[in-house]
Chain A
Amino acid sequence: MPEPLRLKGIPASAGYAEGPLFNLDPDVARYRSKATAADERLALDTAIGTATGRLAKLIQATEGDAADILEFQLAMLEDDALTGPAFAAIAAGQPADAAWRQALDAEIAGYETSDQDYFRARAADMRDIRDQVLRALSDDSAAAAPAGAIFYGEDIAPTRFLETDWSAGGGIALKAGSAASHVAMLARSRGVPMIVGLGAVGLGAPPADLVGVALLDAEHGGIVLGPTRAEVEAFRQSSSSFAARRSRAETFLARPAVTKAGTAVRVQVNIADPSDVDGIDVSTCDGVGLMRTEFLFGKTLPDEETQYRAYRKVLEWAGDKPVTIRTVDAGGDKPVPGFTVEEGNPFLGLRGIRLSLARPEVFRVQIRALLRAAVHGNLKVMFPMVAVWDEYQRAAALFAEEQAAFAVRGVAQIMPPLGIMVEVPSVAIAPEVFSEVAFFSIGSNDLTQYVMAAARDNASVAHLNSIRNPAVLRLIASVAAFGRAQEIPVSLCGDAGGDPAAIPALIEAGLRELSVVPAQLAMAKAAIADVSI
């Protein structure tokens, strides 16, 4: 009996699956060369037809974003400009599989070298198209996975995910992959457990030897192959406890969050990209407590129109509910080429509002986009990393100047309420200095790391980085009390807000407004319902 193999990965879609491992990366499918070029041509033509037919059938059974991905692949496959070079290579004496691979690899290379993220990401679609036809060419009919299998391999194509019947269970464990991929998004929406980032070595053995049952824990991010009896027992318990927690939490999702004692708590969501709201039913939350804007600041600084559209999209989604947008918080662990500066100690350096004030020409573009977007909903704007009153005043003055300039030109705009993040200890210790801000939002991740002097990206001091340290909780309670006394709204938008273990302490500290990542919304509401305050 071989030893169990255990690997750690990153959860991409929470859940548990137990089943046989199915190898996603079989040995290169064997293609039998044909006798003549005419036969090669016929083989490729037939394979393209098979792949096209499969796609068309999949499209029938799919909707939304997934259908759009497939429509794009189908249109590509039906385009002679894609298939032409392969047929030309066959006429020149190449076998069908090599001809197709060469033609597609040339296209793929074109996408991979694009300087735009969006076009680069399409390379994955092109690889998917290539492999679908290669599969059809080698008549790889043995590629069907057994029901309830755990798909294991380098990466998984969207079409492979969509044509799999997940009703019998099963899951996905990838050596590479990304929690932000299309497939991860689909897996979350369908409740298919998935982990990514197992590493290049993976389970270590040649795939053919990976037989036996595997346990996939996509709540914590791990997989075990050939588990002991005790491991199977423990796994099944965690799995049923997770299912019970999830189904219990789901019943809370549609309802407003209330504690056992009847105290109402507003629960908002944190988002990092406008498309994050696409999968959220707006009626299940009280608005957006934190919309990050760093995503806009990729390789180039975003123009006003790009920002305006991104903000407007989320504001229109939220309707009357508030959307709190944070001005760009670059720097620290979030460098932006051409904007942030290299520093020895970036967490204590030129980041957040400090950087925005140092680069007013960049900041003013964001301010103009926010003023215009405010017309389309219930916008609130907050500044990150404020340490002294002067910073807030200068930022607010820039808003006033841009508003005045718009007024002269007759541009539609509204001045949103301006608040600040509470993450630098100076604000948490002396909130009275900031009694004129419209609201406070506690950034518990940064507040904790600054109070405890423990960098949050350093695993060796992770044990110090706890929001439940009495010093951190006392600061939070003091800000909440100050807000109550002065009638200044106080919310919390750090990771702790969605952590069921931290929620009781936060409510006890006086907070009545939390903002959590969308995936934690149901669990957070369920945890609030257990609090007896």
Chain B
Amino acid sequence: MSAAAEATVLITHEVGLHARPSVKFTKLAKTFSAEVEVALAANGPWFDAKSIVKVMAAKAPKGTVLHIRAKGDGAGEAVGALVELVRRDFDEGVDHARTA
């Protein structure tokens, strides 16, 4: 029996799920073997979370509630890790601003 998991998280990053965060997001998603998808609404449409083309195409601005779901091996860990990444603002706080 394969595992499944689902969660939502608020995007607080200034310009939304944009280029740099999308790169981090999809890279992290690819480290899991589970099938991972994202959506801007509970009823979809769902996009492949491992494809930067699809994630960028979702054009999720700041303030969007991002829905993340996974099924298969490590589904729970995948959703947990991705939610954490969004919650940490993609690790782009003041530190990034200072070093950019």
Residues of chain A whose beta carbon lies under 8 Å from any beta carbon of chain B: 64-65, 68-69, 71-72, 75-76, 79-82, 107, 110, 114, 116, 118-119, 122, 125, 274-275, 277-278, 303, 305-306, 309-310, 312-313, 316-317
In the assembled complex, which residues on chain B have CB atoms less than 8 Å from the CB atom of A110? 57
Which among B18, B27, B53, B59 has the highest number of chain A CB atoms within 10 Å?
Answer: B53
**Contact at A81–B20, with CB atoms within 8 Å?**
no
Q: A72-B23, A75-B26 are in contact. Are A81 and B16 (CB under 8 A)?
A: no
Distance (whole angstroms) from the CB of B92 to the closest CB of chain A: 10
**Contact at B94–A316, with CB atoms within 8 Å?**
yes
- Interface CB pairs A-B, < 8 A, 17: A65-B100, A71-B23, A72-B19, A75-B22, A76-B53, A82-B53, A114-B59, A116-B61, A118-B18, A119-B56, A119-B59, A122-B56, A277-B97, A306-B62, A309-B14, A310-B14, A317-B98
In the assembled complex, which residues on chain A have CB atoms less than 8 Å from the CB atom of B18? 118-119, 122
Distance (whole angstroms) from the CB of A300 to the closest CB of chain B: 10
Prevailing SS type, chain B contact patch: helix
Contacts A68-B20, A116-B61, A278-B97 given; 11 further ones with Cβ under 8 A?
A72-B23, A72-B52, A75-B22, A76-B52, A76-B53, A76-B56, A79-B53, A114-B59, A119-B59, A122-B18, A310-B14
B54 beta carbon closer than 8 Å to chain A: yes
A274 to B97, CA, bound (A): 9
Distance (whole angstroms) from the CB of B62 to the closest CB of chain A: 7
B8 beta carbon closer than 8 Å to chain A: no
In the assembled complex, which residues on chain B have CB atoms less than 8 Å from the CB atom of A309? 14
**Contact at B62–A75, with CB atoms within 8 Å?**
no
A81 to B26, CA, bound (A): 13
A71 to B12, CA, bound (A): 22
A65 to B19, CA, bound (A): 11
Quick one: closest B residue to A73, CB to CB? B19
In the assembled complex, which residues on chain B have CB atoms less than 8 Å from the CB atom of A306? 14, 62
Number of A-B contacts (CB under 8 A): 69
In the assembled complex, which residues on chain A have CB atoms less than 8 Å from the CB atom of B12? 305
In the assembled complex, which residues on chain A have CB atoms less than 8 Å from the CB atom of B15? 116, 118
In the assembled complex, which residues on chain B have CB atoms less than 8 Å from the CB atom of A80? 51
Interface size class of B (residues with CB under 8 A): 20 to 34
In the assembled complex, which residues on chain B have CB atoms less than 8 Å from the CB atom of A277? 97
**Contact at B48–A81, with CB atoms within 8 Å?**
yes
Quick one: closest B residue to A119, CB to CB? B59
**Contact at A79–B52, with CB atoms within 8 Å?**
yes
In the assembled complex, which residues on chain B have CB atoms less than 8 Å from the CB atom of A122? 18-19, 56
**Contact at B61–A81, with CB atoms within 8 Å?**
no
**Contact at B97–A313, with CB atoms within 8 Å?**
yes
Distance (whole angstroms) from the CB of A518 to the closest CB of chain B: 15
Partner of A75, one of B16, B23, B94: B23
Residues 1-33 of B, flagged 1 when their CB comes within 8 A of A and 0 if not, give 000000000001011101110110011000000
**Contact at A125–B53, with CB atoms within 8 Å?**
no
Distance (whole angstroms) from the CB of A456 to the closest CB of chain B: 32
Quick one: closest A residue to B59, CB to CB? A119
**Contact at B53–A64, with CB atoms within 8 Å?**
no
